[in-house]
Structure 1
Amino acid sequence: MKSFLFFCGVLISSFAYAQSSTGEKAVLDIEKQRFEAQVTKNYAVLEKVLGDDLIYNHSNGNQDTKQSFIQSIRDGKQSYDAIEMLESKVLLYGNTAVVSGICQVKAANNGQTINTKLRYTDVYVKKGPQWQMVAWQSLRLAN
């Protein structure tokens, strides 16, 4: 009986770990898609992966909603040339994921060229089958 209970415990732990790993990978995949969509101006992907209630805090202190963030890319006020994910870690809490990482961003903001490393934290919530980013906060690191 003890070996059966031990086996069940190992099986449940393995299943929970596999679920966690799968969820972490799914969130990182969405994060990569979002970065790529910002660079390529793929508005369909941005509409899908950004939550309607998004709060986007830029490293310069400016804040955007989903609508104002996408519109700033459409208008050319915000233009991303490259975003490279250097580090990332995902913590899952049920249907919520907290991502912390570092990325290298080459962009233009109102015509001013930016080439900087950012430390960021963002939050994703799983809405049905789709993970959507609902919060972003970043700060500049010394290059």
Structure 2
Amino acid sequence: MEQAIIALSKNKWEWMIERQLDDLRQLFHEKAVFVHMGATFSKDEEIDVIHSGSIIYKDIDIQETSVQLIGETAILLNKVKLQAIVGGNTVTNPFVVTEVYVRQKEQWQLASMSFTRLLSP
């Protein structure tokens, strides 16, 4: 089960980079929340941010991953180096990204994704 969550997370990053919005809409739970460094978004707002190019995800270097399963909930932590274009500027930041997945009707959906910037790379 842990490997399935890790694979789903990797797919999510690829979909975000490639702007595969239909795949992301299916993955994101209707009540999902997304916490970035300067804003918090709903599912629709996060999809719009990706669609509009407000944040353009360019590259993700996943350095460490762990998964904790608690019933029908999976908590995945990724230590990453993320390159994106934000406000027209290319930025690279070290983050721990917390992803919370919930299983409903045998399908895992992303319920929360939070970016915590690390002080040192």
Whether TM exceeds 0.5 here: the answer is yes
Cα offset for 1:83? 1.5
The equivalent of 1:117 in structure 2 is: 94
Cα offset for 1:45? 1.3
Cα offset for 1:112? 2.4
Q: Superposed, which structure 2 residues align to 1:38-117 within 5 Å?
A: 38-58=16-36, 60-117=37-94
Q: What residue identity is the alignment partner of 2:99?
A: D
Q: What residue identity is the alignment partner of 1:100?
A: L
| Structure number with higher strand proportion | 2
| Structure number with higher helix proportion | 1
Structure 1 runs of 4+ with >6 Å offset: none
Max Rg structure: 1
Q: Superposed, which structure 2 residues align to 1:5-44 within 5 Å?
A: 23-44=1-22
Cα offset for 1:129? 2.2
Q: TM-score, normalised by structure 1?
A: 0.79
Percent identity, aligned pairs only? Answer: 26
* CA distance in structure 1 between the aligned counterparts of 2:78 and 2:57, rounded to whole angstroms: 18
* Count of residue pairs brought into register by the alignment: 120
Q: TM-score, normalised by structure 2?
A: 0.93
